[in-house]
Amino acid sequence: MKYIFTAICLFVLSGSAVCAKQLETFELNYEVYAGGLHGVSTSLEIAKNSLTAYHIKTTVKTRGIISLIYPLKATYVSFGKIKKNELLPEKYESVSKVRSKTKIKTLEYNDKGVIIEKVINKNGKINRTEIIDTKLAEGAIDFLAVWQEMMLKVENGKGCSQEIPVFDGKRRFNLNFKDKGESEILKSKYSFFKGIASECMLDVEPIGERPRNSWFWHRSGKYEKQNPIRIFMASVEENTPPIPVRIEIDSNGFGSIIAHLSSVDFKKKLIHEQGNSK
């Protein structure tokens, strides 16, 4: 499930804080439908202090029939610095709860933005893993930081076509984006946005074998080439960066999965650069 939310979020902190600054912030809210059924509500909050720091938070909650089968509530947080238009992650944390089971995953980075440790807390049982294979981690970022990296490059005129390496503390894979030109998003009761958007095709390429028991990695058939994910990006207000306004995933089992941008809010506010998500 986490890979779906990465593509969709393709992300208000509380707890202790070291410092807080005035950040430019925007919140995106999405409603996700699978085979016509309302399955997931998700929000993505992205903030950055000029071009020196970024902070991303996303919340996910399953809805309707899917919530009866898989009652998930989750929060994901990622923050770090921006140096010479490159991201230097500092911390990633996810807190997910399914029924009575809670899992907290934390990725810790060194001052060069390279992951050095993964910590898993399952219902109070903590397991720490030091990252020994630095080749897997070097140059890679976490799931949430992908959106900041993508929008940063689009803002700098590099367009949609790009390759972004991701490392989740266990596996490394490449997100390959390709620019497919412009498409029109028609008026819909599900969507906040209508108009012309840039279409990006996303192909997720694992380094090594695909996980055997993951629906996401076999969504187009267990032995078939996986269909790319379609991401439509556009500026929804004047002088704002391009953001995902619609995401489409074709799959076996769930049929077409579509994430609609339901609302967006651009603002400035104080937000903690460091802290724990809840």
Q: Under a CB-based contact definition with an 8 Å cutoff, are residues 237 and 185 in contact?
A: no
User: Which of 96, 13, 105 lies closest to 55, judged by CA?
Assistant: 13
pLDDT tens string 60-112: 999 988 899 899 999 999 999 888 778 889 999 999 999 999 999 999 999 88
Residue 107 inside a domain? The answer is: no
Query: CA-to-CA distance for 46 and 25, rounded, in angstroms?
Result: 6
137 phi/psi in degrees, rounded to 5: -90, -30
Residue 110 inside a domain? The answer is: no
Q: Under a CB-based contact definition with an 8 Å cutoff, are residues 226 and 204 in contact?
A: yes
pLDDT tens string 33-48: 988 889 999 998 887 6
Which domain does 152 fall in, by range? 2-99+135-272
pLDDT tens string 4-44: 444 444 322 222 222 334 446 788 899 999 888 899 999 98
pLDDT tens string 220-259: 666 666 778 899 988 887 777 778 899 998 877 667 889 9
Give the model's pLDDT for residue 17. 26
For the chain, the domain total comes to 1
Q: For residue 207, give the CATH number of its domain.
A: 2.40.360
pTM: 0.78
Give the 3-state secondary structure of residue 68.
helix
pLDDT of 121 higher than 60: yes
Residue 64 inside a domain? The answer is: yes
pLDDT of 206 higher than 90: no
140 phi/psi in degrees, rounded to 5: -105, 155
Residue 127 inside a domain? The answer is: no
Residue 104 inside a domain? The answer is: no
Give the model's pLDDT for residue 271. 37
Residue 168 inside a domain? The answer is: yes
DSSP annotation string for 70-95: S-EEEEEEEEEEEETTEEEEEEEEEE
Give the 3-state secondary structure of residue 136.
helix
Query: CA-to-CA distance for 201 and 141, rounded, in angstroms?
Result: 20
Say which range, 122-126, 195-199, 216-220, 255-259, has the weakest mean pLDDT.
Answer: 216-220
Question: Average per-residue pLDDT in the chain?
Answer: 79
Residue 78 inside a domain? The answer is: yes
